[in-house]
Amino acid sequence: MSRSYRLNELLQVMRRCRGTVSGEMLARETNVSLRTIRRDIATLQGMGAQIEGEAGVGYILRPDSSLPPMSFTEEEMQALVAGAQWVSRQPDQAFARAAQNALAKISGVVPAEMRRVLDDDSIYVGGQDASSGLDLGEVRRALREQRKMRIVYVDRNGSTGQRIIWPIMIGYVESRRLIAAWCELRQDFRRFRVDHIHEADFLTDRYPGERRHLAKEWRTRCCLNKCADQVIE
């Protein structure tokens, strides 16, 4: 086992514990001696990890720790690259740029031997051909600010109408992009297909309550209904 891998494993164990943990327990979890644990703790502290405690008392990793670059394993890096590929190949250009910028930042801080993983072509994630005039960047802002939207929408029966919705979540389901929202017309939660939204105005009115509480309620109902398509307008 390389030293960098061992240090990463030690950090992962401390993250899982989320509280004070003894050196003996860390030694058992990482399969090294207590003396090695003490030395590795000192190394991590020197690299910026906010680990508090001492031998005989126990150690705790603070949540706001500045963790060293080798905290990514090769498989974790591949997962990040695959996720960024998926985002960058969606029609949402602002999100795509954010994913590319994130990878560039990661490339700037990981050790040189890990940068090759960022260029690994063993995983390919395709894009989507779906197109829409709706700016999903503005939808994400409406989510953050809890702002209502007025949309002109074509429902599954082909009827066009105007709705006032409270957007709570954006979903990517297979080839479809959906907005989960509270619909003032239906007085219930609905999922709206982005490609069926012909016009959208982002209102200054904010909807009441907390978005995350509405999202939790929607997920609960969705699970009870087995996420059936009848909730898609």
Q: Is the confidence at residue 80, as pLDDT, over 70?
A: yes
Q: What is the mean pLDDT of residues 191-209?
A: 93
Instruction: Write out the H or E segment, with its range, that includes residue 71.
Output: none
- Is residue 125 one of the residues assigned to a domain? no
- Those residues whose C-beta lies under 8 Å from the C-beta of residue 73, and which sit 6 or more positions away, are 5, 8
The candidate with the shortest Cα–Cα distance to 179, out of 128, 123, 138, is: 138
What's the domain count of the chain? 3
pLDDT at 66 over 90: no
- Whether residues 188 and 149 fall in one domain: yes
Beta bridge partners of 154: 160
CATH number of the domain encompassing residue 53: 1.10.10.10
Q: Using alpha carbons only, what angle is made at residue 58 by residues 55 and 60, rounded to the nearest 5 degrees?
A: 125
pTM score of the predicted model: 0.58
pLDDT of residue 228: 46
Quick check: 79 pLDDT over 50?
Answer: yes
List the domain range (segments joined by +) for residue 83: 72-118
Q: Is 67 exposed, middle or buried (0-12, 13-18, 19+ CB in 10 A)?
A: middle
Q: Which of 48, 70, 92 is the last residue of a domain?
A: 70
The residue-averaged pLDDT of 151-177 equals 88
Q: Are residues 60 and 104 in the same domain?
A: no
Instruction: Give the CATH number of the domain where residue 171 resides.
Output: 2.30.30
Is the pLDDT higher at 187 or at 2?
187
Residue 123 lies in a domain: no
Per-residue pLDDT tens digits for 13-63: 887 776 788 999 999 888 899 999 999 999 988 888 888 887 778 898 876
For residue 109, the tally of other CB atoms under 10 A from its CB is 10
On whether both 65 and 76 belong to a single domain, the answer is: no
Question: How many helices (H) and strands (E) would you count in the chain?
Answer: 8, 7
Q: What is the pLDDT of residue 172?
A: 78
Q: Give strand pairing partners of 21.
A: 59
